[in-house]
A and B are shown apart, each in its own frame.
Chain A
Amino acid sequence: MNGETLGDIVRSFSGDHNVLVTQSAILSVDHLQKQAEDLYRRSSVTSRSRIALCGLSPSDFITSLVAFDGRVDAMLFLPASLDDISKERLAASAGCTHYIDTENIVEVSRGLEECRSSEADATQWLLPTSGTTGRPKLIGHTLASLSCSVKRDTEKGRCFVWGLLYDPSCFAGIQVVLQALYSGSLLHVSESVDFESQIEGFVQNHVNALSATPSLWRKLLMDGRIKACRLRQITLGGEIADQHILDGLKRHFNGARIVHIYASTEAGTAFSVHDGRAGFPAIWIQNKSGPLPLSIRGDGHLLVKPPILSDGLEIVQRLDSDGYLDTEDMVRVEGDRVIFLGRASGAINVGGNKVAPEYIESHIRAVNGVVDVRVFGKKSSMIGQIVAAEIVPHPGLEVKRLRGEILHYCRVNMESWQTPGIVSFVHELKENSAGKRERLT
C-alpha cells in the first residue's frame, strides 16, 4: 500500500517520546509500537482484510489504528454505544472479515477477503454517521482525508497536553487523536467514559488543550474543576457555537486560543474560526478569501468544496455540477458575519447528537391516545436544542396521564436525548403555506 501511514507518523518521533497518558500508565513511542506489533501479529490479518473495531478503550483503539492503518483494506469504527443489530448490519455492509472487541479477535468471513484487491492506495477508515433516522450510514475516509486540517508543527505541539473527552472512534475524537499524534503532543485518555474521572485525569495531568461540543463546555464551566487546568487551546465543534459560550470561555481562560470548527463526518473539517465571534466572516463568501471555496445557495444552504471528499453514495447525491457539497446547514448573512441557523432537514441537534423529528414522531404516534404529533427543536441556551413535542390527544382523554405514558414509551424505546423535554397538548397542528409541518422554534 502507498502513502503515509499512522505508524509512519508515530515512528517519526524518537522511541522515548511520550505519546499517551492514562490513569495508570504513560506510553512512549516504543511502547505504543510494541503493543501495536503484538496486536497485529495476534490478529492474523492480511492487506485484504476489512476489520471492525468495536467498543475498545481509547488506548486500545489508538493502538489498533497504529497496528492496522496501511496494513488492511479497511477499518470500521463501531462505538460501544451502538446496539448489536446496528453493529451487525454495519459490519456486514462494510464487508468486514474480522471483528475486534475488548476481549476477542474473531475472523468472521474469508470468502469476501479473497475477492478483494490488495492494490488499494490506503486503508479506508469507515465511520458511521450519527444517523438521524436511527439507521447510521457509513462514510469512507482515509488517513489523508481525516488529517488534512491537522497541524504538524511539532515545536508547538510538544507544549500541549491534549485531553480526550470524545469517543475516539467518532469523527471529532479522531481529530483530537490525530492532532496530538501528528504534532507530538501528549494525549491524556481516560480508561472510563465517566465525566468525573475524565476531569480528574485532566487536572492531574495538566491538560492544556481540549476539544468539546459547546454543550460539553457549558457543563465543564458549571462543574468548575476544569478552571484548574491552564487551557491554552480550546476547540469547539459538533454544534453551533454561540457568542455566550465563546465569551464565557474567553473570560475563564484568558489568553487561550479559542477555535470553533465547522466539520461533519461527511465533509471532513471544512474550516475553523478563531476570532472569538460566532459564525464566520461574510467576506469568506463575498470575495472568496475563505479557507476553502464556500457559497450560499438561494435557499440558504451552505455549500462547501472540501479539498478531499469522503466516499459514499450519500456524498455523491449532495454534490452539484461545480463540485460543491450541500452541507444541509442553513445560514444567514448578518452584517459582516454568516450565522448558522440549524439543519435544513429540521434535524434536531441535542448537544451534538442529531435526530430527525419524523423519527421521534413515528414513535410517539404508536402511543395509544395520540391522534397526531409535531416534533421540533426548541432552542436551548444550555445544549443547543432540546426535543419538544406538540400532541393532539384523543378527545376526552386525561392529558396528564397520556403525558406520562408518552414519556415512558419514549424512555423505553429511544435514547434519553431523543425523548421530548417539553410536551404540550393542542387541539390541532398547524401546517405552513406549502402544507408542510412547521418545525422552526
Chain B
Amino acid sequence: MSEKLIMKEKIINIIIEIASESGWDILTNLNDDTVLLESGLDSLGFATLVARLEEELLYDPFSMMDEPVYPRTLGEFVKIYEQYAS
C-alpha cells in the first residue's frame, strides 16, 4: 500500500472513531473531495482529529507552518500531513 493510502486510511479511521465516540453521523463515503466541515465533524471534532493525529504521528503540521493553510477538503488535509511527514 502506498504511503498516501496509508495516511488517508489512518485519518479516515480516526474520523470514524471520533464520530462513533461522540455519537455524530458522518458521511459513509469519505473521499478526497469531501468538504471537511460537511463530513459530519464540527470544528471541535476536527480539532480532536488533529490532536489524535499528533498523538499518533508525533507532529501537528498546523503548528509548524510558516504560511497558515486551512484545508477545505479531505484530500487537501491528507496532503498537508504527507508534506510534513518524515
Contact = CB atoms under 8 A, between A and B. Distances in A.
B50 A380 contact: yes
Given A247-B68, A248-B68, A382 B43 contact: yes
A189 interface: no
Nearest to B76: A222
Contacts of A224: 72
A392 B71 CA distance: 37
Interface string B32-50: 0000110000011011101
Contacts of A351: 43-44, 47
Interface in B11-60: 18, 21-23, 36-37, 43-44, 46-48, 50-52, 55, 60
A70 B18 CA distance: 49
Interface residue tally of chain B, by bracket? 20 to 34
B47 A222 contact: no
Interface stretch (A42-50, A75-83, A413-421): A413-421
Interface stretch (A157-165, A213-221, A327-335): A213-221
Nearest to A222: B70
Contacts of B70: 218, 221-222, 248
Most buried by A among B65, B68, B71: B68
A386 interface: yes
B3 interface: no
Contacts of A380: 47, 50-51
Q: Which of B51, B63, B71 gathers the greatest number of chain A CB atoms within 10 Å?
A: B51
Contacts of A421: 18, 44, 47-48, 51-52
Interface string A222-241: 11100000000000000000
B50 A382 contact: yes
A411 B68 contact: no
A252 B4 CA distance: 29
B43 A383 contact: yes
Contact of A244 (B18, B50, B55, B62): B62
A378 interface: yes
Contacts of A251: 67-68
Interface of B: 18, 21-23, 36-37, 43-44, 46-48, 50-52, 55, 60, 62-63, 65, 67-68, 70-72
25 contacts: A216-B43, A222-B37, A222-B70, A222-B72, A223-B37, A244-B62, A244-B65, A245-B68, A251-B67, A251-B68, A350-B44, A351-B43, A380-B50, A380-B51, A381-B50, A382-B46, A383-B47, A386-B44, A407-B22, A411-B21, A419-B22, A421-B44, A421-B48, A422-B55, A424-B55
Nearest 9 A/B pairs, CB to CB: A421-B48, A382-B47, A248-B68, A381-B62, A221-B70, A383-B47, A381-B63, A222-B70, A219-B43
Given A215-B43, A421-B52, 18 more contacts: A218-B70, A221-B70, A222-B37, A222-B43, A222-B70, A222-B71, A244-B62, A244-B63, A248-B68, A351-B44, A351-B47, A381-B62, A382-B46, A383-B44, A388-B51, A416-B22, A421-B18, A421-B51
Interface of A: 215-216, 218-219, 221-224, 244-245, 247-248, 251, 350-351, 378-383, 386, 388, 404, 407, 411, 416-417, 419, 421-422, 424
